[in-house]
Amino acid sequence: MKPRGYGFLLLLLHILKAAIALEQTNIISKLGDNATLSCIFNRNNLQLKNLRVYWQIADSYQKTCSVVHALMSGQEDNSKQCILFKDRTQLFWDRLEHGDFSLLLLNVSQRDRNTYKCIVQNTTEYSKVIYQAEVVLSLAVSYSQPILSGPIKNNDSTEGEVTFNCRSGNGYPKPNVYWINKVNNSQLNASKTEIISHKNGTFNVFSTLTMKATSNMQIECSIENEMLQENLSANYTQLKKSSTESDENLEKKGRGAQAAGIIGIVFVIGLLTGLICWLWRRRSSNLVSYKDVKPREDQGGLNSPV
Ligand SMILES: *[C@@H]1O[C@H](CO)[C@@H](O)[C@H](O)[C@H]1NC(C)=O
Ligand SMILES: *[C@@H]1O[C@H](CO)[C@@H](O)[C@H](O)[C@H]1NC(C)=O
Ligand SMILES: *[C@@H]1O[C@H](CO)[C@@H](O)[C@H](O)[C@H]1NC(C)=O
Ligand SMILES: *[C@@H]1O[C@H](CO)[C@@H](O)[C@H](O)[C@H]1NC(C)=O
Ligand SMILES: *[C@@H]1O[C@H](CO)[C@@H](O)[C@H](O)[C@H]1NC(C)=O
Ligand SMILES: *[C@@H]1O[C@H](CO)[C@@H](O)[C@H](O)[C@H]1NC(C)=O
Ligand SMILES: *[C@@H]1O[C@H](CO)[C@@H](O)[C@H](O)[C@H]1NC(C)=O
Ligand SMILES: *[C@@H]1O[C@H](CO)[C@@H](O)[C@H](O)[C@H]1NC(C)=O
Ligand SMILES: *[C@@H]1O[C@H](CO)[C@@H](O)[C@H](O)[C@H]1NC(C)=O
């Protein structure tokens, strides 16, 4: 049993060594961008007609649709190419002779997140593998500019707490959310952070911060895309206390003026009513006196010709 065990271990070490020897690179692409999968076997004056270059998906579960691109004796042979890569792959023809077999993958989508393997064989030597490289393609999408809302006063809280909300979306991978008190650049803990995924794999993020209200709050919400080394932030700065006070004063003054205006109008209406009444009385009394006088005038009129 023992020797066999050791043999297995040696075999495993051998495999591991082979895996380490294989060049592996990681690249990050944004959705919809073109990605260059690199495979550089630095040799000059290569005879392309004696070479076979395969680009394939390395992941073992991917058996049915694994051929990404193939170059046989200097000719592209994409008869076995997986349909997902049709018209989306290009070799750099001017660099092939210098041993650069890098592949340009157009319009990268979520489905392209794979480990790709480039295998170069020498067809004159029993198809011996003379070079291979692996490329891990990861995807990233920038988050949208975060939107910060608040502060909203909490009804039920005793200590005058306020709530801020921050949201951003359509990014990949999952973000980190930071709340920062800009007064002293200290980090604040979110009371709740929710990350929701879309069908297309991207995420939306909603975060809530609850804190004690202070006199000059300066709050920043920052959405970090670690893969892209990108931080997008939105901030809130409370208006100066004095300005809000003067606003209140202005409001008070405004209300005062309004009240004065109303009182003035009522006063003028009263005055006008009084005046009208007085005029009416005078007119009535004139009428009375006119009536009183009229018969006399008539009399007089009648009298005078007589
Ligand atoms: C990707 O490559 C294609 C073809 O070369 C080009 O038309 C397109 O503008 C490129 N897209 C980006 C995002 O660079
Ligand atoms: C890129 O791929 C997406 C699907 O993944 C497709 O909807 C879009 O039309 C493609 N864009 C171009 C320029 O081919
Ligand atoms: C391919 O194999 C032949 C025969 O062994 C050898 O002469 C040639 O140099 C090899 N080519 C490369 C690129 O290794
Ligand atoms: C605050 O009070 C209003 C009305 O009184 C109510 O509609 C609202 O849901 C309350 N908000 C919270 C967070 O309790
Ligand atoms: C930063 O300031 C807040 C008050 O605005 C205070 O509660 C907090 O303890 C301070 N943090 C540090 C690290 O000084
Ligand atoms: C934030 O949470 C971490 C761990 O959850 C804790 O160690 C830290 O003290 C908290 N900070 C504040 C300001 O509450
Ligand atoms: C993903 O889906 C969401 C919601 O359907 C959409 O708003 C967003 O633009 C999509 N993102 C990409 C990169 O296609
Ligand atoms: C993003 O901001 C946070 C909080 O300020 C910081 O810890 C992190 O290092 C920043 N990341 C990048 C990529 O700048
Ligand atoms: C806060 O955000 C505004 C725009 O929303 C920006 O003009 C200002 O520079 C930001 N302040 C800080 C301290 O980041």
Residue 64's closest CA among 40, 43, 81, 42? 81
Nearest ligand, CA 105 = 1
> What whole-number distance in Å separates Cα of residue 296 and Cα of residue 159?
90
pTM above 0.85, yes or no: no
What percent of the chain is modeled with pLDDT above 70? 75
- In the chain, how many domains are there? 2
Q: Is residue 289 part of a domain?
A: no
Mean pLDDT of 188-215: 92
Do residues 67 and 169 share a domain?
Answer: no
Q: Is residue 256 part of a domain?
A: no
Do residues 180 and 203 share a domain?
Answer: yes
Do residues 29 and 127 share a domain?
Answer: yes
Q: Is residue 71 part of a domain?
A: yes
CATH code for the domain of 202:
2.60.40.10
Pocket of ligand 9, beta carbon within 6 A: 182, 235
Instruction: Report the SS3 class of residue 166.
Output: strand
Residue 268's pLDDT band, with cuts at 50, 70 and 90, is confident
Residue 102: domain span: 18-139
Nearest ligand, CA 186 = 5
pLDDT tens figures, 24-64: 899 999 889 999 999 999 888 888 999 999 999 997 666 77
Query: Does the CB atom of residue 109 touch ligand 2 within 6 A?
Result: yes
Half-sphere exposure of 152 (CA within 13 A, CB side): 13
* CB 139 within 8 Å of CB 113: yes
Do residues 160 and 115 share a domain?
Answer: no
> What whole-number distance in Å separates Cα of residue 172 and Cα of residue 197?
9
Residue 6's pLDDT band, with cuts at 50, 70 and 90, is low
Residue with tokens 């991917």: 62
Q: How many CB atoms lie within 10 A of CB 49?
A: 11
HEC string for 4-25: HHHHHHHHHHHHHHHHHHCEEE
Lowest mean pLDDT: which of 161-170, 191-200, 216-225, 266-275? 266-275
Mutation test of ligand 7: which of 31, 108, 167, 200 has the most ligand atoms closer than 8 Å to its C-beta? 200
Residue 235's pLDDT band, with cuts at 50, 70 and 90, is very high
Q: How far is the CA of 34 from the centre of ligand 1 (A)?
A: 6
Decide which of 117, 139, 161 is a domain's last residue: 139
> What whole-number distance in Å separates Cα of residue 14 and Cα of residue 21?
11
Instruction: Report the SS3 class of residue 222.
Output: strand
pLDDT(242) > 70: no
Q: Is residue 131 part of a domain?
A: yes
* CB 177 within 8 Å of CB 166: yes
Decide which of 100, 123, 139 is a domain's last residue: 139
Q: How many CB atoms lie within 10 A of CB 255?
A: 10
Do residues 33 and 63 share a domain?
Answer: yes
Average pLDDT, the chain: 81
Q: Is residue 50 part of a domain?
A: yes
